[in-house]
């Protein structure tokens, strides 16, 4: 009867974690030496809320039912009630196992599970439905500034509005509070499965990349923050070490990210491009920079419109194109592939057709095309009123790195074999792997196999 402890590090890139920063991360290095590690292929798209939920369900994006942060049709943010599939704690509840679930993206509003749940990123505030059981609310308030307990700033991308010094300070403050509660529940609660996701790495990476990566086109030479990201990783590793001391060797340990991170060359104004190409018509011309909304679109004269923050998404107006759907989709995909960078050089753009990547693409929220411009080195900017095809910031602000396809995954203890580098795994494989360690039957509807280390 095993136990599993999963420590999530949002967006940890294998190039840095397993590569040039490894010597500064002695605890992660130790785990790698004891068990197995891999690059973890993220969900499509490699979006935080999609990827974590794919990891703990064994399901693809369409089965989860979450394609992006907003429901286009309803114009509202998604929340945990929109998730269509069973998650790890639902499966474990039925098997009589107890879960402690901390700060997992898109767990707001929380569910009354067999165990404890504290929601994460996208929680509106400490007085919302963010804790179960209720007694955890006062505990969180006692830890410090509860306004930044769930994220460094409110909103989807509030971190982009903070100056760097404030961002760094708040990230440490948030992390300390989150680790404090984690350690407290680790010893005080009974559990079979314990999961906590640290979002601080993602927040810092988006903003700090150009401070340390000298190949970045907007690199800041001699930045006072050039070591800030590495220092934070070293700090997180140290705090992880304290937590690992509290576990025995029978407990399976997983340290994993949901996606990786990659320097951002710039953003491609997807909706500007669709307007220029004659696929998108707005109700009226927009010259001020404006967040895209489907309300602004003249649907009677529109063939396709776009979205996305790092990956781009194209939605085809199926009512309008009718039987021409397949032809138009291919035509748009072919043209998108030809978009060069801002200097006219060809780029390595990947395009996914919904029917090729999703089990069920009938959801009206499911994009017809998902586009990784230059394998995600170029981001997507859906804002309207942009000048030309390229931009550096959106209405939400600027950042200097975006999400990449592969994150970092380490597993050891709890009977896991010492296999070292096992290459690549799929994010969906984590769920059945956890169940196997816990000796819980893997439900038939999880079709992927556990990783071959258990």
- Chain residues in the site for Zn ion (CB under 5 A): 202
Instruction: Supply the minimum distance, in Å, between the C-beta of residue 171 and Zn ion.
Output: 13
Distances (CA, A) of 404 to 15, 150, 217, 282, 359: 11, 23, 18, 31, 22
385 CB-near residues (< 8 Å, 6+ apart): 286, 287, 288, 289, 290
Based on its alpha-carbon atoms, the radius of gyration of the chain, rounded to whole angstroms, reads: 22
H or E stretch at 224? none
Strands 260-263 and 378-380: unpaired
In the bound state, the residue with its beta carbon closest to Zn ion is 202
Determine contact, residues 199/120, Cβ cutoff 8 Å. yes
Instruction: Supply the minimum distance, in Å, between the C-beta of residue 15 and Zn ion.
Output: 16
Q: Which residues pair with 425 in a beta bridge?
A: 40
360 CB-near residues (< 8 Å, 6+ apart): 62, 63
Q: Determine whether 1 is exposed, middle or buried from the number of CB atoms within 10 Å of its CB (0-12, 13-18, 19+).
A: exposed
Instruction: Supply the minimum distance, in Å, between the C-beta of residue 390 and Zn ion.
Output: 21
Instruction: Supply the minimum distance, in Å, between the C-beta of residue 137 and Zn ion.
Output: 27
Instruction: Supply the minimum distance, in Å, between the C-beta of residue 182 and Zn ion.
Output: 21
Q: Looking at beta carbons only, is 60 or 202 nearer to Zn ion?
A: 202
Q: Looking at beta carbons only, is 202 or 213 nearer to Zn ion?
A: 202
Instruction: Supply the minimum distance, in Å, between the C-beta of residue 298 and Zn ion.
Output: 32
Q: How far apart are the first and last CA of the chain?
A: 14
Instruction: Supply the minimum distance, in Å, between the C-beta of residue 29 and Zn ion.
Output: 25
Q: Looking at beta carbons only, is 63 or 202 nearer to Zn ion?
A: 202
Q: Determine whether 20 is exposed, middle or buried from the number of CB atoms within 10 Å of its CB (0-12, 13-18, 19+).
A: exposed
Q: Looking at beta carbons only, is 57 or 205 nearer to Zn ion?
A: 205
Angle subtended by helix axes 228-244 and 164-188, to nearest 10? 10
Instruction: Supply the minimum distance, in Å, between the C-beta of residue 381 and Zn ion.
Output: 15
Question: CA-to-CA distance for 197 and 64, rounded, in angstroms?
Answer: 19
Q: The tokens of 202 are what?
A: 């993602």
Q: Which residues pair with 260 in a beta bridge?
A: 404
Instruction: Supply the minimum distance, in Å, between the C-beta of residue 397 and Zn ion.
Output: 13
Distances (CA, A) of 434 to 340, 429, 439: 43, 9, 9
Instruction: Supply the minimum distance, in Å, between the C-beta of residue 401 and Zn ion.
Output: 9
Instruction: Supply the minimum distance, in Å, between the C-beta of residue 48 and Zn ion.
Output: 5
Q: Looking at beta carbons only, is 45 or 414 nearer to Zn ion?
A: 45
Q: Looking at beta carbons only, is 159 or 239 nearer to Zn ion?
A: 159
Question: CA-to-CA distance for 51 and 45, rounded, in angstroms?
Answer: 8
Q: Looking at beta carbons only, is 202 or 237 nearer to Zn ion?
A: 202
Q: Looking at beta carbons only, is 404 or 433 nearer to Zn ion?
A: 404
Q: Looking at beta carbons only, is 93 or 202 nearer to Zn ion?
A: 202
Question: CA-to-CA distance for 448 and 454, rounded, in angstroms?
Answer: 14
Question: CA-to-CA distance for 250 and 263, rounded, in angstroms?
Answer: 39
Of 128, 67, 117, 62, the closest CA to residue 88 belongs to 117
Of 171, 214, 237, 258, the closest CA to residue 21 belongs to 237
Q: Looking at beta carbons only, is 119 or 413 nearer to Zn ion?
A: 119
Question: CA-to-CA distance for 379 and 390, rounded, in angstroms?
Answer: 10
Q: Looking at beta carbons only, is 267 or 329 nearer to Zn ion?
A: 267
**Is the bond preceding 94 in cis, omega lying within 30 degrees of 0?**
no
């Amino acid at each position: 009867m095993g136990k599993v402890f999963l420590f999530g590090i949002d967006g940890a890139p294998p190039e840095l974690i397993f590569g040039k920063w490894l010597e500064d991360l002695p605890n992660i290095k130790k785990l790698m030496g004891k068990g197995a590690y891999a690059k973890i292929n993220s969900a499509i798209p490699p979006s935080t809320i999609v990827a974590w939920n794919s990891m703990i369900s064994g399901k693809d994006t369409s089965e989860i039912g979450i394609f992006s942060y907003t429901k286009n049709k309803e114009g509202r943010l998604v929340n945990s009630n929109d998730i269509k599939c069973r998650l790890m704690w639902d499966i474990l509840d039925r098997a009589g196992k107890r879960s402690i679930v901390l700060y997992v993206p898109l767990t707001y509003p929380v569910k009354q599970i067999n165990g404890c749940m504290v929601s994460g990123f996208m929680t509106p505030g400490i007085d919302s439905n963010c804790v179960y059981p209720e007694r955890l609310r006062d505990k969180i308030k006692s830890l410090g500034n509860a306004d930044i307990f769930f994220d460094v700033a409110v909103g989807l991308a509030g971190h982009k509005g903070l100056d760097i010094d404030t961002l760094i300070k708040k990230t440490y403050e948030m992390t300390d509070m989150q680790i404090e509660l984690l350690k407290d529940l680790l010893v005080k609660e009974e559990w079979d499965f314990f999961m906590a996701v640290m979002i601080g790495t993602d927040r810092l990476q988006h903003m700090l990349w150009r401070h340390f990566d000298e190949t970045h086109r907007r690199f800041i030479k001699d930045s006072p923050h050039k070591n800030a990201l590495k220092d934070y990783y070293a700090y997180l590793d140290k705090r992880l070490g304290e937590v690992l001391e509290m576990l025995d060797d029978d407990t399976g340990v997983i340290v994993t990210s949901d996606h990786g991170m990659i320097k951002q060359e710039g953003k491609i104004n997807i909706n500007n491009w669709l307007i220029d190409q004659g696929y998108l018509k707005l109700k009226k011309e927009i010259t001020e920079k404006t967040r895209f909304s489907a309300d602004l679109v003249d649907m009677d004269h529109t063939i396709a419109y776009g979205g996305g923050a790092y990956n781009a998404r194209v939605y085809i107006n199926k009512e309008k194109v009718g039987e021409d759907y397949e032809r138009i989709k291919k035509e748009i995909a072919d043209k998108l592939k030809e978009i060069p960078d801002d200097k006219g050089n060809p780029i390595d753009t990947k395009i996914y057709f919904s029917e090729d990547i999703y089990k069920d693409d009938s959801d009206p929220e499911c994009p017809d095309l998902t586009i990784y411009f230059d394998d995600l080195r170029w981001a997507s900017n859906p804002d309207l009123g942009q000048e030309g095809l390229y931009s550096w910031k959106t209405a939400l602000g600027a950042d200097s790195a975006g999400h990449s396809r592969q994150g970092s995954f380490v597993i050891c203890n709890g009977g896991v074999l010492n296999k070292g580098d096992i290459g690549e795994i799929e994010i969906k494989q984590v769920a059945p792997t956890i169940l196997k360690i816990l000796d819980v039957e893997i439900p038939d509807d999880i079709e992927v196999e556990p990783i071959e280390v258990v």
